[in-house]
Amino acid sequence: MECLVCFALLLLLAFNGLMPSAERHKEGPHSDRALKDAAQKRSSRSSDLKAGRCSYTFIVPQQKLKGALCVSQESIGRAAAANHSEVVSLRQELSRQQEQLERVRAQLEQEGAMATEVRALRRESGAMNARIAQLYAELLHEVTLKKGQDLEQRRLENLLLNATSQVLQVTSSYRELEKKYEALTSIISNQSHLLKDLEKQCQLGNKPSQTEKEKAPSSSFPSSPKSNDVQRDQSAPPPNSKSVRGVQEVVTASPAPSTDSPFISFPVTKSPGPWRDCQHVLESGETTSGIYLLRPQGTNLLVQAWCEQSRAQGGWTVIQRRQDGSVNFFRTWEFYKQGFGNLDGEYWLGLEHLYWLAEQATYKLRVAMEDWKGRHVFAEYDSFRLEPESDWYRLRLGNYNGNAGDSLSWHSNKAFTTHDRDKDSYLGNCAHYHKGGWWYNMCAHSNLNGVWYRGGHYRSRYQDGVYWQEFHGGAYSLKKVTMMIKPT
């Protein structure tokens, strides 16, 4: 009953609400004000309905009611159910569309981020490309530069090679010139000696002399010491020609004059000789020291030597002497074999002569030395001999005695070495470093054929002075040295 009453009231309200609309249609479309009012009223009514004063809304066709309005409860129920299902479906549709919207929005957002990322990547890629292009250009530049450098290097190498070959040519030319100069100096020296001899002979008048019968040795001898001043002490006065004592020519009964003599012959003795050695000279009554002609027994080898008859009982054959640096001792094998120097000054008797002399008997060796303060010492070895040239004149030495100290035993049983023939035990050539010829071991406790330095202690890149290790050491160059042998 209550439901029916409520429904009737609602119908009345609806009818009142529709009436103005019908009237508006009659007034025509020009009344905007009326339309706005009606819209306001509808909205207020719908808000009233939403507020829950009524559960249903009915839409009634615009027509004039004629007669009674009948609504059955059944039709109302059907309409309500239809509306409800429609609302539900609409809501579902709405939520579905909202979901779709959300998805689309999310997708859009995602795509937006991706687009940003793509743009960033594009920018990065552009930068990378630019960098690669730059690097490529740099590489190209480097390659070009390298090629240029290679060319330059090759050019420099060629230049260097040319310069080296030129230097070699110049060096060889220089060596040739040096040889020529040496030969010329030697000839001049010999000629000057010959002139002096001739002058003296002229001064003696027409007095017959044995000297006229003999001829001075030719310049085929090894060059004079004056011809080579490589090692000569530069501060030393030039060798005084006046010191050449009593010049006489070789007087010899020898049937075959030797061609081996390395010396310019100026013997001082009137004794004809030749003698076996200086002991033989002494025994023959010649007690004056000087130059004598010797010929070892069983040989045709004639050699002049200085005989020391006043020191240590005399009878000594001098085989080596140093005293003023006037002779270069840095010589080749051939010079050391044949001998060189001045018999009344510095000289080396020659290994071949030494070998034959020492073959005659048992000889002893005496090394007499003097330092720059005038102190004299000596070293003696009770036997001395050499092996033949086929064994490089190997030294065989006996026992030592003396007051100089033993600096030669270490060299015993060693072969002779020169700068052009290396027979020493050292990896390099000792003669090169010690600037002489010696029975070098590895290398030298004594170096009596080294460079003669004035004043004792010397400064040199190598230990190349005239030294005796046990007497002042290797850095002290001795003032005077004499090596001499004598039969025991």
Report the nearest approach of Ca ion to the CB of residue 484 (Å): 29
Stretch that binds Ca ion, among 184-192, 329-337, 417-425, 456-464 (CB under 5 A): 417-425
Taking the alpha carbons of 328, 329, 331, 336 in that order, is the dihedral positive or negative? positive
Output 329 or 392, the one with its CB closest to Ca ion: 392
Stretch that binds Ca ion, among 89-97, 112-120, 179-187, 416-424 (CB under 5 A): 416-424
Structural contact between residues 456 and 375, judged by C-beta atoms closer than 8 angstroms: no
Report the nearest approach of Ca ion to the CB of residue 413 (Å): 16
Structural contact between residues 309 and 289, judged by C-beta atoms closer than 8 angstroms: yes
Structural contact between residues 447 and 416, judged by C-beta atoms closer than 8 angstroms: no
Q: How far apart, in Å, are the Cα atoms of 145 and each of 214, 266, 321?
A: 80, 75, 67
Q: Which of 286, 324, 424, 470 binds Ca ion (CB under 5 A)?
A: 424
Output 382 or 422, the one with its CB closest to Ca ion: 422
Report the nearest approach of Ca ion to the CB of residue 351 (Å): 18
Output 321 or 411, the one with its CB closest to Ca ion: 411
422 binds Ca ion (CB under 5 A): yes
Report the nearest approach of Ca ion to the CB of residue 423 (Å): 7
Report the nearest approach of Ca ion to the CB of residue 462 (Å): 15
Interactions with Ca ion, residue window 8-67 (CB under 5 A): none
Structural contact between residues 273 and 292, judged by C-beta atoms closer than 8 angstroms: yes
Stretch that binds Ca ion, among 179-187, 242-250, 328-336, 420-428 (CB under 5 A): 420-428
Stretch that binds Ca ion, among 113-121, 163-171, 235-243, 421-429 (CB under 5 A): 421-429
Structural contact between residues 302 and 261, judged by C-beta atoms closer than 8 angstroms: yes
Output 226 or 419, the one with its CB closest to Ca ion: 419
Interactions with Ca ion, residue window 314-373 (CB under 5 A): none
Report the nearest approach of Ca ion to the CB of residue 415 (Å): 10
Interactions with Ca ion, residue window 181-220 (CB under 5 A): none
d(CA 356, CA 258) in angstroms, rounded, equals 14
420 binds Ca ion (CB under 5 A): no
Phi, psi of 68 (to 5 degrees): -85, 145
Report the nearest approach of Ca ion to the CB of residue 428 (Å): 6
Instruction: Write the binding mask 125 to 154 for Ca ion: x where contact by CB under 5 A, - elsewhere.
Output: ------------------------------
Tokens for 261? Answer: 């003599």
Query: Would you call the peptide bond into 443 cis, given omega within 30 degrees of 0 as the criterion?
Result: yes
Structural contact between residues 397 and 381, judged by C-beta atoms closer than 8 angstroms: yes
Name the residue among 427, 331, 430, 336 with its Cα closest to residue 389: 336
Stretch that binds Ca ion, among 231-239, 338-346, 414-422, 467-475 (CB under 5 A): 414-422
Report the nearest approach of Ca ion to the CB of residue 422 (Å): 4
Output 423 or 486, the one with its CB closest to Ca ion: 423
Helix (H) or strand (E) holding 119: helix 73-203
Tokens for 438? Answer: 């010696």
Structural contact between residues 303 and 295, judged by C-beta atoms closer than 8 angstroms: yes
Output 295 or 434, the one with its CB closest to Ca ion: 434
- The C-alpha angle with vertex 298 and arms to 265 and 218, in degrees rounded to 5, equals 20
Q: How far apart, in Å, are the Cα atoms of 125 and each of 96, 133, 134, 429?
A: 42, 12, 14, 72
Note the Cα 340 to chain centre separation in Å: 42
Stretch that binds Ca ion, among 182-190, 375-383, 387-395, 419-427 (CB under 5 A): 419-427
Q: Furthest-apart CA pair in the chain: how many Å? A: 205
Report the nearest approach of Ca ion to the CB of residue 429 (Å): 5
Report the nearest approach of Ca ion to the CB of residue 408 (Å): 19
Output 306 or 416, the one with its CB closest to Ca ion: 416
Output 337 or 419, the one with its CB closest to Ca ion: 419
Stretch that binds Ca ion, among 62-70, 340-348, 415-423, 468-476 (CB under 5 A): 415-423
Taking the alpha carbons of 356, 357, 359, 364 in that order, is the dihedral positive or negative? negative
Output 301 or 415, the one with its CB closest to Ca ion: 415
| Strand bridging mode 376-386 / 395-397 | antiparallel
Interface size with Ca ion, residues (CB under 5 A): 3
426 binds Ca ion (CB under 5 A): yes
378 binds Ca ion (CB under 5 A): no
| Strand bridging mode 303-308 / 290-294 | antiparallel
Report the nearest approach of Ca ion to the CB of residue 271 (Å): 44
Output 378 or 426, the one with its CB closest to Ca ion: 426
Report the nearest approach of Ca ion to the CB of residue 151 (Å): 44
| Strand bridging mode 363-370 / 467-468 | unpaired
d(CA 27, CA 288) in angstroms, rounded, equals 182
- Determine the residue type at 307: C
Q: Tell me which residues touch Ca ion (CB under 5 A).
A: 422, 424, 426
